Chain A
Amino acid sequence: MKDMHAISLKVNGREHELVVEARRTLADMLRHDLGYTGTHLGCEHGICGACTVVLDGAPVRACLVFGVQADGAEVRTVEGLADGEQLSDLQQAFSDHHALQCGFCTPGFLMLAEAYLAEDATQLTEARARELVAANLCRCTGYQGIIEAVLATARARRPGRKPADEP
């Protein structure tokens, strides 16, 4: 018999109620039970970070969290970044700086950076950005574009900084 649990959670502001097997990962639950397939699985053992989502404000590897652990939580996934069809500043910066090629790891990097920038965009140096980006794996880009995109977003989000200040 499957060990099933009824849970509820919010994903990108939307309420979901579902019955989920105890061993089901948050990543599989988001992808296959709730249809948020933007969250990708690259290793399923917590190294690559492709499955990074924001769980109650903190970036987590969704492959290392069980779905039932998200009971009552608020989850943000890549699908929640844009304003309707309008890319967020971070998403736009990724395109501007060629921070993606195949796009498979991209949602993980976006959520990682989003969680960090939401907490503190003011102090981001290039060295700190490189350290942040080193949390996840990308096999296509060599990371330079990702670092530049995150830095550019941090600069633009600094308090008192008008978008016109951007080069």
Chain B
Amino acid sequence: MTGWIGAALPRKEDRRMLLGRGRFVGDLTRPGLLHAAFVRSPHAHALVNKIDGTAASQAPGVERLFTAESLGCPYLLAMLERDEFVPTAMPILAGEKVRFVGEPVAVVIADDAYRAEDAAELVEVDWDPQPAVASMETATAAGAPRLHDHGNCLVDLLMFDDDRLPEIFAGAAVTVSATFSSARVAALPLEGRACLAEWDDRDDQLVMHVSTQVPHQVRSGVAQALGLPERSIRVIAPDVGGGFGLKCVVGREEVAVAAAALRLRRPVRWTEDRQENLTAAFHGHEQRYRVKAAFSQDGRILGLDAEIDCDTGAYSVFPFTCAVEPLMAATELPGVYKVPAYRARGRAIATNKAPAAPYRGVSRPQIVLVMERLMEKAAAALEIGPLQVRRANLIGKHEFPYTGVNKITYDEGSYRESLDLAEQIVTEKAWAADRDRLRSAGLRAGIGYACFSERTAYGTPTMSQRRMRMTPGYDTALVRMDPTGEVIVTTGTCGHGQGHETTFAQIVADRLGVHPGQVRLRQGDTDLASYGWGTWGSRSVVIGGGAAGRAADVVAGQLRKIAASQLEASPADIELAEGVARVRGDDHASIPIPELARLVHFQAHRLAEDLRYGLEARATFDPPGTFSNACHVAMVVVDPGTCAIRLRRYLVVEDCGVVINPMVVDGQVRGGVTQGAAAALLERVRFDPEGQPVSATLMDYLAPTAAEMCAVDIVHLQTPSQFSETGAKGMGEGGTIGAPAAVLGAINDALSDTDVRFDHIPVLPQDLSAALNQAGAVP
């Protein structure tokens, strides 16, 4: 190994993006390209009596109008093999009934995007509006209108229970009870969803360019919905303008565009606009936790009881299902803390809103917020320090591997060490003095901590416990050296901003003894890569990168054998480094790796039979998962005039094991913190009581700008994973997971002169103003 792992290598991805030569779906064109525009429901809940497309079909430029009926009523069905799960087929176009504002009922295909939108407005639909349920409260009330025949509870799982809990609560020094909640938010990638589908007669294939994180699952979804063999569909994810989970599920629009291209045998493109994205794509994180926790006098948690409700919107998403949030939450709630007795019930509640998808963090931002607030509440009740309570409960270094009450085994991390270091840095940098100075000046300022771990890179050993009909987890890489010694790697993971082209090249380059510049990653193409599971769940560098590392090891073995045959040495004595194969300890006995590549491809007859024919290997990696961890510290200050809460300082001490590229890791952390902090301070998808979305533009849905952020300082600890090829742990979501709890803690600390405390996010200026007024405090 020559040590590319750990280098802050500039990203290979940057150049084309900076030159304006990125290739996003909306940038692609084709001769005779047609454009799709969807006709969407203005009602949250309605029966569809009749769709009249006569005027639309006759509008200028219109090629065809499709409805559910004319497409043959295709649907996407996400399945969980559990009795407690109620499947909800999501029609590609709704036929008889719509279940949220923005649900598509027809698609107009025209020669121009503007004309397609014009014609979509001419489609006349005879709606029969029904009473809608716009919240979990109304959805679960007696006599509530039903979205689906089986009622509005789509998943109800008692994941853990413990007979001892009543006794534990009865005997506890302190019992903390609270309800915590987080608002529905939008993932909001800057590029909306997009799709271009075209039929290829030569390959007998429907070729789809899709802005997706999961090309193979799009292929599976389209194949299942349209009844096609998978080989007859090729899905390509070109450059993808962010995903954050929104694009790790299959959109019905993608299937509709595929169906239209198939019917018309013409290329069809759809690019989602921002209003569609905010109303009719996918949301996430709308959850409520009713929690009771018992603590001992010295701050140890003795028992935990949680009722977890997740607002799943109108349908299960493909392939994850609506159980993804409640299952994650109920399974992982204890987090970094040693909880001896645990009961958790998780429900997914259907409402007349867009479906929930696994947005960055998936329930972990909420469960961390819950656990950190419990620690703070217990500390207040016991009148001991909140960090002391955390330390009384954190899993310690000597306790790993630690198997929790939730049956999860946590591999080694630095749970206490990251908190200790964070506190030390905060002390050294005089955060408390800064806070107290602000307070002396009459301002409210506060500091909040969050300790957490993040299970990353789940393979099928872990994913199978969810019992999804399509169980994700493994990935396969192909590593191939060409006759000039350059290396091509293909994977089923599918980067979209995470720098995989760079980091995977670093992993492979070390193993083959070449420069990362000679390693090219090809991803996002179902015809190029073996079946894989895309990029989500902080899985790619561990699973995709691990598979690439394994395949590279095989190719390295091939190179060593060939070099050994030429240098008359043992393969075990050959090392690959700096572009050459050399005999260890003999500077004169070496061959350039490109020379070996030429030999294999062009002079195969000169090699022994078992060394001939190609330098390539395929390998799969399917790990159980590995936990990264971090401690976040936030400081906020409240504007007394507006009650706006401003971030002032932010520190992350994180441990994702071996860092492949520190620049990339820091970028992921900062971006994640920004999303998580915004979830605590700004972001909220809102509906009126009838289910009408009222945050349909970026003037109403507030995404953070640079003005709302402060600098984020990052310090790394490195506890290598025993469950990954490189020692790396996944880390793509951690920033988003820790930030809401740290920011909420800082807000509550800022209010320590009052009795006001918040247990929900976001805390908006109007929330703070109202609460302070109610408490009789000066804002």
Of residues 232 through 246 on chain B, the ones whose CB sits less than 8 Å from some CB of chain A are: 239-242, 244
With beta carbons under 8 angstroms apart, the residue of A36, A48, A133, A140 that contacts B671 is A140
Measured between beta carbons, the chain B residues less than 8 angstroms from A144 are: 670, 709, 711-712
Contact between chains at B705 and A24 (CB < 8 Å): no
Whether B509 is near chain A, meaning CB under 8 Å from some CB there, is no
Q: Which of A138-152 contact B (CB under 8 A)?
A: 138-147
* Closest Cβ–Cβ distance, residue B204 to chain A (whole Å): 30
Contacts of B663 in A (CB 8 A): 98
Is there a chain B Cβ closer than 8 Å to A95's Cβ? Answer: yes
What residues on B are CB-neighbors of A40 within 8 Å? 24, 26, 190-191, 241
- Cβ-neighbour of B191 out of A21, A82, A87, A104 (below 8 A): A104
Interface contact A95-B242, CB-CB below 8 Å: no
- Min CB–CB distance B664 → chain A (angstroms): 7
User: Smallest Cβ distance from A63 to chain B, in angstroms?
Assistant: 10
- What per-residue 1/0 map shows which CB atoms of A62-98 lie under 8 Å from chain B? 0000000000000001110110000100010011101
| B20 to chain A: closest residue by CB | A38
Chain B CB within 10 A, most for which of A42, A48, A106, A110: A42
- A130 within 8 Å of B (CB atoms): yes
In the complex, B703 has a CB within 8 A of chain A: yes
**Interface status of B189 (Cβ within 8 A of chain A):** yes
| A39 CB within 8 Å of chain B | yes
Q: Contact: B703 with A38, CB < 8 Å? A: no
Contact across chains for A21 and B274 when beta carbons are under 8 A apart? no
Q: Is B15 an interface residue (CB 8 A)?
A: yes
A-side interface size class: 35 or more
Q: B499 on the interface (CB 8 Å rule)? A: yes
Measured CA separation A98–B671 after assembly (Å): 11
Cα(A57)–Cα(B579), bound, Å: 48
A133 and B618 CA atoms in complex are apart in Å by 44
| B274 with A44: CB separation less than 8 A | yes
Q: Does A45 contact B (CB under 8 A)?
A: yes
Chain A residues near B191 (CB-CB < 8 A): 40, 42, 102, 104
Given contacts A37-B20, A38-B21, contact A103 B706 (CB under 8 A): no
B666 interface hit (Cβ, 8 Å): yes
Q: How far is the CA of A81 from the CA of B668 in the complex (A)?
A: 27
Specify the chain A residue showing the minimal Cβ separation from B22. A103
Partner of A45, one of B11, B24, B114, B274: B274
Interface string of B487-506 (1 = CB under 8 A from A): 00000000011110000000
- A104 to B443 alpha-carbon distance, docked (Å): 39
Residue of A nearest to B189 (CB): A139
Q: Is the CB of A79 within 8 A of B19?
A: yes
B11 neighbours in A (Cβ, 8 Å): 95, 98
The B699-734 residues at the A interface (CB cut-off 8 A) are 699, 703, 705-707, 709, 711-712
B707 (CB) vs chain A CBs: closest residue: A134
Question: Cβ of A14 < 8 Å from any Cβ of B?
Answer: no
Residues on A with C-beta less than 8 A from B604 are none
Interface assignment of B433: CB less than 8 Å from any CB of chain A: no
Residue of B nearest to A105 (CB): B190
B667 near A87: Cβ-Cβ < 8 Å: no
Which chain B residues border A82 with CB–CB below 8 Å? 18-19
B27 within 8 A of A: yes
The answer to whether B137 has its CB under 8 Å from any CB of chain A is no
Q: Report if B155 contacts A (CB, 8 A).
A: no
Query: What is the bound-complex CA distance between A49 and B22, given in angstroms?
Result: 17
**Bound state CA distance, A147 and B707, in angstroms?**
11
Q: Closest 7 interchain pairs by CB? A: A38-B20, A104-B241, A103-B17, A102-B497, A78-B20, A142-B670, A101-B497
Interface set of B (CB-CB < 8 Å, partner A): 10-11, 13-22, 24, 26-27, 29, 113-114, 188-192, 239-242, 244, 271, 273-274, 496-499, 663-664, 666-668, 670-675, 697-699, 703, 705-707, 709, 711-712
Q: Which residues of A pack against B, CB within 8 Å?
A: 21, 23-24, 28, 31-32, 36-45, 47-48, 50, 77-79, 81-82, 87, 91, 94-96, 98, 100-107, 110, 130-131, 133-147
6 additional A-B residue pairs with CB within 8 Å, beyond A41-B271, A45-B697: A37-B24, A40-B24, A45-B698, A103-B16, A134-B705, A137-B703
